Amino acid sequence: MTLSLCQLNSLWGIMLRLVVFISGGGTNLQALIDAIQAGQLEAQIALVVSNRKDAHGLERAQRAGIEALYFPLKPFTEGGQTRVEYDAALAERLQPYTPDLIVLAGWMHIFTSAFLDVVSKPVINLHPALPGQFAGVNSIQRAFAAFQRGEVDHSGVMMHYVIPEVDAGDVVVMEEVPLEADDTLETFTARMHAAEHRLIVEAVRQHILPSAGT
């Protein structure tokens, strides 16, 4: 029997272990799952985390046989605890999964240093804008509105390292997405999502390559 490179890496114990955070539909999570299952990405997803119980990404994880964790903020805030305490508790829950890399794939929560310092592993975030542009939420809609006002002719997608400041960490990979004269919000959004799916896989691959010779 001939084993694929991904299977051999798994046997040798060098498969990159991911924890993926989602808050919604999970299409970017699915891009990772598809790349792994196709043997295109030498990684395994140890856990999927969501802060929303109705996130469709949880169903995607279940279909792929990946363990999932629903970890909402509301019980903490209603119990008088802070976002910092939530972050610390969530970081602690990840410890048994020994992730090599944490991927925020549509995670709608800004992590504080209480999380980032405890996990002590790289945390990368997918953001549908270029560095210094449209930080925060609704970036695609804001870029399209700016295009309609004649202020921009392109936007883009980046994967960046997470720091406590919003969408401000060093860039891992990015891709420019032009805005066309006949674009609607729907057509522009579709091209942005396609770029997201490419970049999230490439950003994970970038974290595999340095260890290939170890």
Residues taking part in catalysis:
127
**For residue 103, which of 40, 21, 43 has the smallest C-alpha distance?**
21
Q: Amino acid letter at 75?
A: P
Amino acid, res. 113:
S
List the one residue out of 68, 70, 57 whose CA is nearest residue 29.
Answer: 57
Q: Measure the CA–CA gap between 210 and 94, rounded to whole angstroms.
A: 24
Q: Which of 116, 129, 122 has the alpha carbon at shortest distance from 210? A: 122
48 three-state secondary structure: strand
**Three-class SS state of 158:** strand
Count H helices and E strands in the chain, helices first.
8, 7
The pair of three-digit structure tokens given for residue 26, joined into one six-digit string: 């999970």
Give which of 127, 121, 115, 125 is closest to 86, Cα–Cα.
115
